A = this chain, B = another copy of it.
Amino acid sequence: MNVIDLSLYLVTDEAPKCRRSLLETVQKAVDGGVSVVQYRSVNPDGGTCYREALPLRDFLASRSIPFIVNNRIDLALALEADGVHIGQRDLPVPIVRSLIGSQRILGLSVSNAAQLQAVDFSLVDYLGMGPVFPTVSKLNAPPALGVEGFAALAATAPVPVVAIGGLNAERARQVRATGTAAGIAVVSALCGAEDPAAAARALLA
């Protein structure tokens, strides 16, 4: 199993929805304590995503922060990313693991107990679990688990679990207080922040 620091996990939003450029958002968020970054885009043009993500990858490598790519394994391989994150409707986990090899990080989103029970934990390094609260960053998101629902589910997982969905500093504290989360993942709390470094520090406080 591949181990990384999941304590504050930034998932990038579409560039036009960010207050600053993607690169500047990531740089400032890392200055504030983000420990891992996932590049997520709904743009189907792999070349456009590749060019957009390259400077993120290079910056993160220079700071020894793991760089994860959402959904597209080909983009992750093209970018020589440290790992991939997939959801329930993406390529099957065993195929993804065979495509990325044993050394890359593989994260999987789960939203309920049935999905959790179906996971082959010999292939998955961590889980993204949520939404804990209703989210504005993802269309068609499943129902929110709530803090107690998250904690009950996360407590049964044999791999580290990152909480995601509608989290801000106060809600992050509530989640951390349950002792069941290896980390907190955010999109708009950092991408939409006036000062991503200060926002990251607040999320870690």
Q: Which residues of chain A have a CB within 8 Å of any CB of chain B?
A: 42, 44-48, 50, 71-75, 77-78, 86, 88-92, 95, 99
- With the chains together, A99 CA to B73 CA distance in Å? 11
Number of copies: 2
List B contacts of A74 (CB < 8 A).
72-74, 77, 91, 99
Verify B99–A78 contact, CB threshold 8 A: yes
Verify A91–B78 contact, CB threshold 8 A: yes
- With the chains together, A90 CA to B7 CA distance in Å? 34
Whole-angstrom distance between the Cβ of A177 and the nearest chain B Cβ: 35
Whole-angstrom distance between the Cβ of A108 and the nearest chain B Cβ: 12
User: Could you list some 10 contacts between A and B, CB below 8 A?
Assistant: A42-B44, A45-B89, A45-B90, A46-B73, A46-B90, A47-B92, A50-B91, A50-B95, A72-B72, A73-B77
9 extra interface residue pairs, beta carbon distance < 8 Å, beyond A73-B74, A74-B74, A78-B99 = A42-B44, A46-B72, A46-B73, A46-B86, A47-B90, A72-B72, A75-B91, A77-B99, A78-B92
